[in-house]
Amino acid sequence: MKIPVIVIGGPTASGKTQLAIEWALKVNGEIISCDSRQIYKYMDIGTAKPTTEERDLVPHHLIDIIYPDEVMSAGEFQKLARRCIEDIYTRGKIPFLVGGTGLYIRGVIRDIDFPPKVDEEIRERVREKVRKEGLPSVYEELQRVDPVTASKLSPNDEVRITRALEVYYATGKPISYYRKGIDTDYPKYNVVYFVLNPPRDLLYKRIEERVDKMIQLGLIEETKHILSLGYSPELPSLQTLGYREIIKYLQGIYSLESAIKEIKKETRRYAKRQLTWFRNEIRVKLIGYEEVEDAFREISRYRK
Q: How far is the C-alpha of 282 from the C-alpha of 9, rounded, in Å?
A: 13
Q: Tens digit of pLDDT for each residue in 13-53?
A: 999 999 999 999 999 999 999 999 999 999 999 999 999 99
Closest CA to 188 of 283, 111, 276, 113: 111
The answer on pLDDT for 179 being more than 80 is: no
User: What pTM was estimated for this model as a whole?
Assistant: 0.90
Question: In a 3-state reduction of DSSP, which class is residue 68?
Answer: coil
The answer on pLDDT for 116 being more than 90 is: no
- Do the bridges between strand 60-61 and strand 3-9 make them parallel or antiparallel, or are there none, so unpaired? unpaired
Please give the average per-residue pLDDT across 240-259, as a whole number: 98
Q: Which of 188-207 are b and which e, b meaning 16 or more Cβ less than 10 Å from the residue's Cβ?
A: ebebbbbbbbbeeeebbebb
pLDDT band at 118 (very low <50, low <70, confident <90, very high): confident
Domains of the chain: 3-112+182-302 (3.40.50.300), 120-179 (1.10.20.140)
Type of residue at 233:
P
Q: Tens digit of pLDDT for each residue in 235-249?
A: 999 999 999 999 999
The answer on pLDDT for 201 being more than 70 is: yes
Please give the average per-residue pLDDT across 247-270, as a whole number: 98
Please give the average per-residue pLDDT across 185-199, as a whole number: 97
Mean pLDDT of the chain: 95
Positions of E strands within the chain: 3-9, 29-33, 60-61, 94-99, 189-196, 285-287
Q: How far is the C-alpha of 62 from the C-alpha of 300, rounded, in Å?
A: 25
Type of residue at 5:
V
The answer on pLDDT for 304 being more than 70 is: no
